[in-house]
Structure formats: C-alpha cells, structure tokens
Amino acid sequence: MSFADLNLIPELQRAVADEGYTEPTPIQSKAIPAVLERRDIMGCAQTGTGKTAGFTLPMLQLLAPYANSSPSPARHPVRALILTPTRELAAQVSDSVRGYGKHLKLRSTVVYGGVDMQPQTKALREGVDILVATPGRLLDHVQQKSVSLGQVEILVLDEADRMLDMGFLPDIRRILALIPTQRQSLLFSATFSEEIKKLANQLLRNPLLIEVARRNAPADLVEHQVYETPAASKRALLAHLIRSRDMKQVLVFLRMKRDCNKLARELVRDGINATAIHSDRTQAERELALADFKEGRTTVLVATDIAARGIDIVELPFVINYELPYTPEDYVHRIGRTGRAGLPGEAISLVSPDEERLLADIEKLLKRAIPRKGIENFTPERGRESRPRRETHDDAPKREPRRTAPATPRPVQKPQRASDGFDFSKPYEPSATASSQPATEKLSSIRGRTTRPTAALLGGLSGKEKK
Ligand code: AMP
C-alpha cells in the first residue's frame, strides 16, 4: 500500500515523500481513511508507531479547503485542536504538523507552559488554523481572550492516558465545554484503563477502534536485560556499563526528579558527560539538554518518565532503567524510546532486591522473562572496571582496598515460570482486547499489507508479510 492508495492529496503525498516515507505504517493505513470519512477514532497506539502522521495527514486534508493566504485573523480561526500532555510532545507534534503541511497554506502554532506567553499570544491573535497545546497553557490563553475555540471541527487528544495520569482531566473538561459539540474527535492512548474508557465514552461518537501491536511484542527489536545489584552499587554499575560497553548515547530513567540532578552530577564526577531533564527545569534548559543529547554532545540524559514522554530520538541505542517504574506500562513507554524506526536497541534495567516485585509485574505484562546478565570485571567500591587505572602520581600513598562485599552478579537465570505460576513460554497477546472496548467497530487485525520492514516495526508485524 502507498500513500496514494490512501487518497491523500498531492500536497500531502509530496510532504510524506520529502520525509522519506514510502509506505504507511499499520496505524496510518487504518486511521487515514477513517479520519477522512470524518469518523471518530479511538487509537490504541504508542509513540513510535507513526500515529502522529496517522492523525495529522488526514486532518490537514480535511482542512485543506480552508487554506488561504489572507492576513486577516478572521480567515484563520482554530479549526483543529491537538492536546498533548507535555511540552516536548507538543513541540514534536507541532513540528510534524508543520512538516506534513508545508505545501498547504494552513497556519499552525504551538502553545505550552514554562515559557513566555507573549510570543504565543501574538501568534494566536494573528490567527491559526491548527493549534497544538498543553491543556493548562491553552486555558491561560482562553482566559486572556487571545484565542477562541468556537470553530473547532477536529479535536485530537494525544497520549490521553498520560494526560489523565498528570491530572489534566478537569482542564480537558473545561476545554471540551469551549468547543462545539458537533465535531470530530480522535483519542490516542497507549493503554486502555477504565478512566480512558470512560473518557472515550463521553467524548467519542461511534468511534472506530484502531489497535496496533504494542511495542513490547516479541517482534520488537529491543533486547531487554536485567542486572541484579544492591541499590548502593547502582551508580558504580551504571558508570561501569557505560564505560565498558563504550555507550555513546544513553537515556537513563529515574522515578523522582530530585534524584535526576544528583545522579547526573555524580556521573559527571565519574568523568561521564551527563545531564538531567525533568519538569522542574526551565523550558530553555530542557530544550538545551535535549538538543545536546540528540546531537551527541552529551552521553547520558537522566530523565523522569514524565520528562521523557514523547522524546523522539531516532537511533537511540540504549535505555537504562536505573530504577524500575512503579507501573509496568511505564516500562513499556521507557523502552519505547529505543528500538525505533526499525533499528535495534537495548533496554537495561538495574534491579535491586526491593524491586523484584516491580520486575515480576513487568515480566507479566511482557509475557516473558527478561534475561539476567552477569557483570564482569566490576567492583562496586571503585565504580570502575578492574582494568588498571591511569596513575597520575606514582608517589601517591597506596590505599588499602576496602573490604566491602563485591556486588557479585547472580548467575544468569532464565525462568520460564514466575513465582505466581505465570507461564512465560506462552505466546504474546496484547493486553487490551476489543471485547472490553467501547468502540462499536474494531480493526483488530494489523496483519496484511505491510511489506516495508520499517513501517512494520513502527507498530506492525513481520516485514515478511506480503500483500
Ligand atoms: P510517532 O509514533 O508519530 O511518534 O512516529 C515515530 C517515528 O516514525 C517518527 O520519527 C516519524 O517520523 C516516523 N514515521 C512516521 N510515519 C512513517 C512512515 N510511514 N514510514 C517511516 N517512518 C515513519
């Protein structure tokens, strides 16, 4: 299948060709025709599946008849509103809207918190056809009367599960009250919790359910590994892994933002180029940290789940869970940062004894055991591999080695059955099933027409499948 088969207008076909896409991903081949038919959509898909183009391309096509180069703001009311949970995701979606819409005379802008409102206000007052926004900042602009949402025809909630996790439901309700009830609504979520189902029931009319394979399907190119270690040895082990494996670009996850700066500082002290990204940093600091990391100036980016949400780094080879997340779904989000666009990646977890339960939950969600790895040439008190260190002062007093117990790695185990009897040897099945969904129609099968391996890996199945 090609983009032309999806009846995309030439301006959009040119834009996707400019991006280098030759075939739609599974979610795109389902979503594009449905959105063009003005259907509501409930999309169960994560970042990395190509979902942004899945909703942006048909949205641009539906709005194309309104395209005009008039300078009058009245000719550019907000007709499409895309809500995202984080600034990073908002910026990325906005870039996609701009990229895919570059051959159309539609205006778009993005508004999010943590930065000066003035330039955003100016852009809104000049008129925009497509607005990408985080909920809080959008409401600030509504209050200041810099934007009216009375002509919105298409509403997109991207990463709706994360918006609910972040407590945006009251803001979303306020926004819904400001936009016409006669509209097309598209809701995308990586998970199908009860809250999401409730929101979908309130928001969507006769939605088409589109589900693509979770990125934790066995076909995934991500290799999962666990290092079992005492909590106190984690930092030294992290530094050891980065050095001994000669890692050049690593995203490291922690649970708490206050710990991110500390770990980044300690890594720098260990001689590893690291920086932290979390929601307490200013937007400018976050953007700089991300740019340095993307361009290879920083080796390690230490992040919380929320800060890393939506970060799209093509070819990110390593994700390290310094701490396991409290919910197994967050593990899936985290590892979704690597193994993208068909490239292999490694997801390494440093697991202390108090995290065994969290690990068991993750393995249950993945429906497979994660191999435990042994650690070679590592003594935790030095935090470095046991190869000889460069001595700068030959006359420095020789220190007695400390007699702490080394973090001896446990032998490699390959459990097939969890302590609660769960059998990992059974084949993978996605956890969300159509029967539990509110949608009246289900496009459950993503098998079929994908022949391009890249598209298949963006949420699809084996690239071996033929038309
Ligand atoms: P998303 O899930 O929207 O965050 O997209 C993930 C990545 O896939 C982005 O880097 C896109 O540029 C890329 N992508 C989207 N659609 C396609 C396609 N049809 N073929 C190849 N890459 C794509």
**Mutate-to-test residue for ligand 1 from 214, 312, 451, highest number of ligand atoms within 8 A of CB:** 312
Q: Which pair of structure tokens corresponds to residue 273?
A: 């180029």
Q: How does strand 384-385 pair with strand 378-379?
A: antiparallel
Say if 3-211 and 222-383 have the same CATH topology: yes
The structure's pTM equals: 0.57
User: pLDDT of 23-57, one tens digit each?
Assistant: 898 899 999 999 999 999 999 887 778 899 999 99
DSSP letters of 22-78?
-S--HHHHHHHHHHHTT--EEEE--TTSSHHHHHHHHHHHHHGGG------GGG---
Q: Please tell me the distance between residue 247's alpha carbon and the centre of ligand 1 in angstroms.
A: 25
Return the H-helix or E-strand segment holding 319: strand 318-321
Mean of pLDDT values over 117-137 = 97
Q: What is the pLDDT of residue 381?
A: 56
User: pLDDT of 133-157, one tens digit each?
Assistant: 999 999 999 999 999 999 999 999 9
Q: Please tell me the distance between residue 54's alpha carbon and the centre of ligand 1 in angstroms.
A: 9
Nearest residue (by CA) to ligand 1, atom 5, is: 50
The Cα-based distances of 47 to 273, 329, 412 in angstroms read 27, 13, 32
| Reported confidence tier of residue 118, pLDDT bands at 50, 70, 90 | very high
Q: What is the pLDDT of residue 222?
A: 80
65 or 283, higher pLDDT: 65
| Greatest Cα pair distance in the chain | 81
Regarding the beta carbon of 343 and ligand 1, being less than 6 Å apart is answered: no
Backbone torsion region of residue 310, taken as left when φ is above 0, otherwise alpha when ψ lies between -120 and 50, otherwise beta: left
**E strands of 328-394, at which residues?**
345-351, 378-379, 384-385
Q: What CATH code is assigned to 222-383?
A: 3.40.50.300
Q: Which pair of structure tokens corresponds to residue 38?
A: 């003005």
Mean of pLDDT values over 383-392 = 38
Which atom of ligand 1 has the smallest separation from the CA of 21? 20
| Reported confidence tier of residue 220, pLDDT bands at 50, 70, 90 | low
293 or 464, higher pLDDT: 293
Please report, rounded to a whole number, the percentage of residues in the chain having pLDDT higher than 90.
52
Residue 276 β-bridge partners: 302
User: pLDDT of 84-109, one tens digit each?
Assistant: 999 889 999 999 999 999 999 999 99
Average predicted confidence (pLDDT) for the chain: 79
**Mutate-to-test residue for ligand 1 from 8, 12, 27, 52, highest number of ligand atoms within 8 A of CB:** 52
Does the pLDDT of residue 120 top 80, yes or no? Answer: yes
**Mutate-to-test residue for ligand 1 from 25, 95, 446, highest number of ligand atoms within 8 A of CB:** 25
CB burial of residue 105 (10 Å; 0-12, 13-18, 19+):
middle
Residue 252 β-bridge partners: 302, 320
Which atom of ligand 1 has the smallest separation from the CA of 46? 2
234 or 218, higher pLDDT: 234
Architecture of domain 3-211: 3-Layer(aba) Sandwich (3.40)
Q: Please tell me the distance between residue 367's alpha carbon and the centre of ligand 1 in angstroms.
A: 26
Q: What is the pLDDT of residue 214?
A: 52
Nearest residue (by CA) to ligand 1, atom 15, is: 50
Least confident of 310-319, 422-431, 434-443: 434-443
| Reported confidence tier of residue 213, pLDDT bands at 50, 70, 90 | low
Regarding the beta carbon of 111 and ligand 1, being less than 6 Å apart is answered: no
3-state secondary structure of 277: strand
Nearest to 120 by CA among 104, 136, 106, 105: 136
DSSP letters of 206-223?
SPEEEE---TTSTT--EE
Nearest to 138 by CA among 77, 91, 82, 203: 82
Q: Please tell me the distance between residue 146's alpha carbon and the centre of ligand 1 in angstroms.
A: 33
CB burial of residue 452 (10 Å; 0-12, 13-18, 19+):
middle
Q: In this structure, are residues 179 and 147 in contact, taking their beta carbons and an 8 Å threshold?
A: no
Q: Which pair of structure tokens corresponds to residue 153?
A: 């025809």
Q: What is the pLDDT of residue 306?
A: 74
**In the chain, domain spans:** 3-211, 222-383
Q: Please tell me the distance between residue 202's alpha carbon and the centre of ligand 1 in angstroms.
A: 29
Q: In this structure, are residues 342 and 457 in contact, taking their beta carbons and an 8 Å threshold?
A: yes
Q: Please tell me the distance between residue 435's alpha carbon and the centre of ligand 1 in angstroms.
A: 29
d(CA 98, CA 103): 9
Please report, rounded to a whole number, the percentage of residues in the chain having pLDDT higher than 70.
76
Q: What is the pLDDT of residue 339?
A: 65
Least confident of 4-8, 145-149, 322-326, 456-460: 456-460
Q: What is the pLDDT of residue 239?
A: 94
Which atom of ligand 1 has the smallest separation from the CA of 458? 8
